[in-house]
Amino acid sequence: MADGIQQAASKALLREMGLDEANIERRKKIVGFEASDLPRIAAIRDLVTQHADDYVTTFFNHLSGLDDARPLIASRAIAERARQLKREHLVAMVQGEYGMKYVEQRIELGILYAKAGLDARVFLGAFHQLLKHIGSAVMKQLDRKPVDGFESFMSLKKIAFFDIGLIVDILVFERERTIRQQQESIRELSTPVLQIRERLLLLPIIGVIDTQRARLITESLLRSIRANRAKVVVMDITGVATIDSKVSNHLLQTVTAARLMGAHVIVTGLSAEVAQSLVALGIELSKLNTVGDLQGGLEDAERILGYRVLTAEAGAGPAPEGT
């Protein structure tokens, strides 16, 4: 069951990272892997397979000596799974098949490293230890000429670098995923459209408006106008520090779109500096309906909608007599 989930995760990542057959071939080319490497790797297949457990131990012993690798070693479940996958990796490394299936297995291990927060440099350190052990074992094979052993090892190293490329890419990709998700959620959070009264919406804009965000603001505003059957929208831009021609253009477009949906837009919160600089620069915003501050804007909006706000005293009518 768990294996199925893991495999699905590997396959999904494979797609997200664009690791198709062509990409895998490109990666082999990058490390200089050729058909002539296959027999050289085959020559050390038995040696590596027989001692796979030793090499796995080398790899994890090195990691357990490092503080930086603690998350991977500390959890028994993760460490066990990583060991198992590492062993499969070593065996697969010398089988001569480096296609989609091979890459998929490497990805599963990469995801595990990423989850444990293993840094690329820590992984590289341990992987180098492992290669060093394989290398010295290969060179110690007495029945082969040293030059043959060296060539076999160098061919295997191409695969090792192919694997390193994959693992490092996964670690980076997964780290960036967090950043991408955070950016997404900031964007989501940053464009609330609030209903103040029946048919009156408030759109407070804070921070930097770029093209992407302007689109989101327009979208969520138009959606809310329809959902709330809004007639008036108060757009407050007190929190927008700089309004240049591009931002002005975005604002104008948002307002025009809202108008097409039948809503009247009042823009509030233009600071004195921004107003002055817009005029100096020659940016034409007279098409916008602006009101000094948010309070004024809301009052205007209420007037348009026919609301009259009274204090409790005035609204209560004449006080009862005799009290």
Partner 1 sequence: MSAEVSVSIERDADIVTARHEGRQLAAAAGFSSADQTIIALAISEITRNIVSYAQCGKLTLSRMDEGGRRGILIVAQDDGPGIPDIDLAMRDGYSTAGSLGVGLPGARRVMDEFELVSAPGKGTTVTMKKWLR
Q: Which is nearer to partner 1, 74 or 208 (CB)?
A: 208
Chosen residue from 180, 215, 226, 246 binding partner 1 by CB under 8 A: 246
Cα separation of the two ends of the chain: 78
**Run of H or E including 202:** strand 200-206
Closest CA to 292 of 259, 256, 266: 266
Q: Which is nearer to partner 1, 225 or 247 (CB)?
A: 247
> Do 88 and 112 form a contact (C-beta atoms < 8 A)?
no
Please report whether residue 277 would count as binding partner 1 according to CB under 8 A.
yes
Question: What's the rounded Cα separation, in Å, for the pair 208 and 205?
Answer: 9
Q: Report the SS3 class of residue 316.
A: coil
Please report whether residue 141 would count as binding partner 1 according to CB under 8 A.
no
Please report whether residue 211 would count as binding partner 1 according to CB under 8 A.
yes
Shortest distance (Å) from residue 249 CB to partner 1: 5
- Widest distance between CA atoms in the chain: 119
Q: Which is nearer to partner 1, 46 or 244 (CB)?
A: 244
Chosen residue from 23, 181, 185, 276 binding partner 1 by CB under 8 A: 276
Question: What's the rounded Cα separation, in Å, for the pair 307 and 83?
Answer: 71
Q: Which is nearer to partner 1, 95 or 242 (CB)?
A: 242
Chosen residue from 280, 310, 312, 319 binding partner 1 by CB under 8 A: 280
Taking phi first (over 0 means left), then psi (-120 to 50 degrees means alpha), and beta for anything else, what does residue 322 get?
left
Q: Which is nearer to partner 1, 136 or 271 (CB)?
A: 271
Please report whether residue 25 would count as binding partner 1 according to CB under 8 A.
no
Please report whether residue 176 would count as binding partner 1 according to CB under 8 A.
no
Question: What's the rounded Cα separation, in Å, for the pair 269 and 236?
Answer: 6
Binding site for partner 1 (CB under 8 A): 208, 210-211, 242-246, 248-249, 272-274, 276-278, 280-284
